[in-house]
Amino acid sequence: MSPADGLAARPIELKVLDARLGREFPLPAPATAASAGVDLRAMVDAPLVLEPGASVLIPSGIAVHIGDPALCALVLPRSGLGHKHGIVLGNLVGLIDADYQGPLMISCWNRSDAAFTIAPGERIAQLVIVPIVRAVFRVVDEFAPSERGEGGFGSSGRH
Ligand SMILES: O=c1ccn([C@H]2C[C@H](O)[C@@H](COP(=O)(O)OP(=O)(O)OP(=O)(O)O)O2)c(=O)[nH]1
Ligand SMILES: [Mg+2]
């Protein structure tokens, strides 16, 4: 039994905006049975040199309409690119709303001190669908006491 066997697959509508996807490059799909995300590809026309410190908005070649307001999607860096090459996201994390139907874009930021060339179709980030809680804020004057109280920002020390 694979670890993901207990998970019901959830259909999410996807539009292919770049005809190379599904032909020259695979459509987004989990790499393993229990992968949390699917990799997103940089659907640029030609190799793109990202200079140190530069950021650029790259089309993923797809649009997704999540539809269910109890879900959203997060665009996250790939750990290898982020750690080894400093290729992360210009917005740090991308949030895709359930009602967004436009092109899924990836803001790529080269936080390293070396230029990085992004090849057409390269897997550049990943997309994770997550459940959300719809908060309705209820204004109060005082909170009931909690164990932490107002302590934060390192209040518990370092070790
Ligand atoms: O990395 C990202 C982040 C966002 N989006 C799209 C989907 C999201 O639903 C929409 C709006 O994102 P967000 O609310 O984070 O951006 P904003 O600057 O507040 O734009 P808006 O005024 O349109 O809400 O942009 C992307 O394609 N990629
Ligand atoms: Mg917004």
Q: Find the 101 Cα to ligand 2 centroid distance in Å.
A: 14
Distance CA 66, CA 93 (A): 18
Q: How far apart are CA 98 and CA 58, in angstroms?
A: 21
Domain of 87? Answer: 34-131
CB-based contact 80:39 (threshold 8 Å) = no
The predicted-structure confidence for 18-76, as pLDDT tens digits, reads as follows 999 999 999 999 999 999 999 999 999 999 999 999 999 999 999 999 999 999 999 99
Does a structural domain hold residue 3? no
Q: ipTM score of the complex? A: 0.98
Give the Å distance between the CA of 10 and the centre of ligand 1: 23
Structural domain contains residue 96: yes
Q: Give CA–CA dist 63/2, Å, rounded.
A: 29
State the distance from the centre of ligand 2 to the C-alpha of 96, rounded, in angstroms: 9
CATH number, position 95: 2.70.40.10
Average pLDDT, the chain: 96
| Cβ proximity of 122 and 42 under 8 Å | yes
Pocket of ligand 1 (CB under 6 A): 75, 91, 94-97, 100, 104-105, 107
23 inside domain: no
CA–centroid distance, 104 to ligand 2, in Å, is 14
Number of domains in the chain: 1
Domain-located, residue 143? no
Return the beta strands (E) in 29-104 as ranges: 38-41, 48-50, 55-59, 62-65, 71-77, 87-89, 94-96
75 inside domain: yes
pLDDT digits (tens, 9 = 90+) for 93-152: 999 999 999 999 999 999 999 999 999 999 999 999 999 999 999 999 999 999 999 999
> Could you tell me which residues are annotated as the binding site for substrate?
78-80, 91, 95-97
> Does the pLDDT at position 2 exceed 60?
no
In a domain? residue 56: yes
Q: What pLDDT band is residue 5 in, cutting at 50, 70 and 90?
A: low
* Those residues with Cβ within 8 angstroms of residue 126's Cβ, 6 or more apart along the chain or in another chain: 37, 38, 39, 40, 75, 76, 77, 78
Tell me the ligand closest to 92's alpha carbon.
1
Q: Does 142 reside within a domain?
A: no
- Which ligand 1 atom sits closest to the C-alpha of 103? 27
137 within a domain of the structure (yes/no):
no
CA dihedral (75, 130, 38, 27) in degrees, to 10, reads -100
